[in-house]
Amino acid sequence: MNFLKINGAHGEGGGQIVRSAITLSCITNQPIHLENIRKNRKNEGLKPQHLAAIKILKKISNAKVIGDTLGSTELKFIPGEIKNLELNEDVKTAGSISLILQVLIPAVSISQKKLSLIIKGGTDVMWSPTMNYTKYVLKEAYSRMGIRFEVQITKRGYYPKGEGEVIVEVFPSEIKSIKLSKRKKQKLQLKCSFSKIPIQIIEKKIDAIKEEVQKHNFEIEIEMKEDEASDSGSSVLIYSVDENSIIGIDGLFNKKTQNFDLDVKEIFDNSFGMDKNMADMLVVPASLGSDITKFEVHEITKHLETNLFVTSKITGCKYGIGKIPDGYEVIIEGISNTSIK
């Protein structure tokens, strides 16, 4: 069998390589052989959330998989035919549902299939986008690229128990190339979810954020919601959307400092087309578009560099990064993959 070998230690060497590689393996029907998975990390190899994504994608694509065990630094993924499915899955940890959906949504949608999924796990956990980011920011960006999905958060899942629940519907797509340049509007949306924390504490922190936002001449619309969860926790999302830009920042409530781990300046200082985290999430669909996707960002992260490298290796797409005043322009030339029908 003709495997495409990928070095999992390349660049930032994290789980993003695994997620992008198995997603594109399914879409392009290319068997892959991942080596040195998370080799430079403190706890190397596959983690529960990676295994959950692999396990679900294996079901969806009728794949054969070798090496899908906890801590494995090597994985062979041989995709089969993706089918329409209804699934009920449990990560059984506080592993990030958002990161798992970054695998499943493009793999199913770009392959012109449907997925109905109920999934349990972590909705708002460290080192991962919050579910509100997925629901309001990623969804907006994906929809502009032709990828349609719906998300309903029925229960929040915080560390350490997780036990959150999300219902997801994914629909067939026709990929579009997009261009995002400069933010036009000075209007922000804030979504805050909290559980088992006194509302007075959360209100005080949100009021402080509101005051800071208004000092910088931004309008802000605030929505706070107390949600059910097994553990106490809270998350906040601040985002801005207009025809030229999709920008979001999010953070979790730190119980030690009694504050949100959030640098509000990141949204003030960014006048470009998207936030630094969104940039790497769009590389996979952009690589498969029929035209050129172009966007401007404040900075180039290791995640973005790594994802561009891995995606170009699997799809053969071309990309370039150019310096512009105070930021960078990223150009991705899609391959309009004819195997995706």
From the CB of residue 10, how many other CB atoms can be counted at a distance below 10 Å?
A: 15
Q: For CA atoms 220, 221, 224, 225, give the dihedral sign.
A: negative
Beta strands in the chain (DSSP E): 4-7, 32-35, 64-66, 75-78, 85-90, 115-121, 148-155, 164-171, 179-180, 187-195, 219-226, 233-242, 245-254, 259-260, 292-297, 318-324, 327-333
Cα separation, 310 vs 220, whole angstroms: 38
Q: What is the 3-state secondary structure (H, E, C) of 26-52?
A: HHHCCCEEEECCCCCCCCCCCCHHHHH
Instruction: Name the residues annotated as catalytic.
Output: 303
